């Protein structure tokens, strides 16, 4: 593949391949390319497409030479889901990428669509790794890198406290680091993080719900016990569980489409559509129904209908996680 510049770190390389399932990192990879293109040409045309919008021949139309040589960024999300005919179009394009056009392919990695992934790598595309963070150490490393990128100093204890308080969502961690960097002068230490975030009810309750609807029972129970120990009201946790399960039910019954369209239809922000799509794998309508019944029972239990609110919550968390894995069976 011909390249316009020699550096593999050039965001204006003919093709950028972002590989992984971490939404924040994928979005940043896209934003980096778009920002570089618009810095070069403020009138850059950006096309953001999903597989269902790419019919055979569509890519050729989007990347055909312009009479005015305008710069264009063509973003293809979920490239692993492209049809066989569109994959052929992409492979053909790799042999002769158009000038002034940057193609950005977002691929989840893994076995699905591996032929396309291999072809893009073989063609010499610029690659950006966007792996999902699954380990506490990875999230800690992410927070440290966020503070470094912001030009701020944070103690190891502060970084750990932020991870403990916010949980596993990288968007929330990035937002918290940015907020602290903007609000606090000097070195950010554990005491500062404690004043801002430790025991934040909304974050901790939704962490419990996220882990439960993902079928990760052990992590959900761990987050539940931590939340309760820091004083989070049980009713906030049942509310978060109910919202998580209802979101899966809404999205599973909605028409397919772009996150922005679904967001308007369902009343959710686009980033949440992407998250719920990841969480809903393995769920069935019976599973949603069973989980909602379990959450309703827990809600009654924590509002005076039972003797042990903590036990009621544990039962609900386990039931939701089981529904996520087996559809309620």
Name the residue among 185, 275, 167 with its Cα closest to residue 223. 167
For 210, the enclosing helix (H) or strand (E) is: helix 201-213
Predicted pLDDT of residue 219: 87
In DSSP notation, 157-199 reads HHHHHHHHHH-S-HHHHHHHHHHHHHH--S-B-HHHHHHHTTT
pLDDT of residue 13: 94
DSSP 301: I
Provide the pLDDT for residue 255: 59
Contact 20, 108 (CB under 8 A): yes
3-state SS string over 234-278?
HHHHHHHHHHHHHHHHHHHHCCCCCHHHHHHHHCCCHHHHHHHHH
Which residues have a Cβ under 8 Å from the Cβ of 34 and sit 6 or more positions away? 44, 46, 73
Q: Are 114 and 6 in contact (CB under 8 A)?
A: no
Quote the pLDDT of residue 176: 87
pLDDT in the model for residue 175: 86
pLDDT score of 8: 59
Classify residue 135 by its DSSP letter. Answer: S
pLDDT of residue 250: 85
Distance from C-alpha of 131 to C-alpha of 92, rounded to nearest angstrom: 28
Q: Would you state the pLDDT for residue 114?
A: 95
Question: Could you give the angle at the alpha carbon of 166 between the alpha carbons of 178 and 227, nearest 5°?
Answer: 155
Q: How many CB atoms lie within 10 A of CB 9?
A: 8
> Which residues have a Cβ under 8 Å from the Cβ of 311 and sit 6 or more positions away?
301
Look at the pTM and tell me if it is higher than 0.75. Answer: no
**In the chain, helix, strand, coil percent, each to 5?**
60, 10, 30
DSSP code per residue over 141-161? HHHHHHHHHTT--B-HHHHHH
Task: Report mean pLDDT in 10-residue bins for the chain, 329 residues.
Answer: 48 95 93 94 91 90 75 94 95 91 95 95 95 87 95 92 81 88 91 73 74 91 84 84 89 70 69 78 89 92 80 94 73
Residue 112: its pLDDT value, please? 93
Measured CA to CA, the distance from residue 152 to residue 33 in angstroms comes to 25
Residue 301 CA to residue 297 CA, distance in Å, equals 6
Helix (H) / strand (E) element for 308: namely none
Using alpha carbons, select from 98, 106, 1 the residue that is nearest to residue 51: 106
pLDDT at 6: 34
Tell me the C-alpha distance between 299 and 316, whole Å.
Answer: 9
Give CA–CA dist 317/265, Å, rounded.
28
User: Sign (positive/negative) of CA torsion 275, 276, 281, 287?
Assistant: positive
Q: What whole-number distance in Å separates Cα of residue 25 and Cα of residue 106?
A: 11
**What CA–CA distance (Å, rounded) separates 65 from 100?**
9
């Amino acid at each position: 593949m011909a390249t316009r510049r020699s550096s593999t770190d050039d965001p204006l390389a003919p093709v950028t391949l972002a590989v992984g399932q971490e939404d924040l990192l994928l979005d940043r990879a896209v934003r980096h390319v778009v920002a570089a293109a618009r810095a070069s040409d403020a009138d850059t045309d950006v096309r953001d497409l999903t597989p269902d919008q790419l019919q055979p021949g569509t890519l050729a139309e989007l990347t055909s030479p312009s009479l005015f040589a305008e710069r264009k960024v063509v973003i293809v999300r979920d490239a692993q889901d492209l049809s066989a005919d569109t994959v052929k179009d992409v492979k053909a394009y790799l042999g002769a990428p158009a000038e002034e056009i940057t193609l950005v392919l977002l691929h989840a990695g893994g076995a699905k669509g591996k032929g396309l992934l291999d072809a893009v790598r073989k063609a010499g595309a610029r690659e950006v790794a966007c792996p999902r963070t699954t380990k506490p150490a990875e999230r800690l490393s992410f927070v440290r890198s966020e503070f470094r990128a912001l030009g701020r100093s944070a103690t190891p204890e502060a970084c750990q406290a932020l991870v403990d308080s916010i949980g596993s969502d990288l968007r929330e961690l990035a937002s918290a680091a940015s907020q602290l960097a903007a609000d606090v002068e000097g070195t950010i230490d554990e005491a500062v993080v404690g004043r801002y975030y430790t025991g934040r009810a909304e974050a901790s309750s939704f962490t419990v719900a996220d882990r439960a609807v993902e079928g990760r029972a052990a992590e959900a129970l761990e987050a539940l016990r931590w939340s309760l120990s820091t004083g989070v009201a049980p009713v906030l946790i049942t509310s978060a569980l109910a919202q998580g399960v209802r979101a899966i039910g809404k999205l599973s019954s909605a028409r397919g489409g772009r996150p922005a369209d679904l967001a308007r239809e369902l009343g959710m922000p686009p980033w949440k559509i992407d998250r719920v799509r990841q969480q809903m794998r393995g769920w069935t309508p019976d599973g949603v129904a069973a989980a909602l019944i379990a959450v309703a029972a827990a809600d009654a239990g924590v509002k005076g209908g039972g003797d042990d609110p903590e036990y009621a919550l544990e039962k609900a968390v386990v039931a939701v996680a089981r529904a996520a894995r087996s559809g309620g069976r």
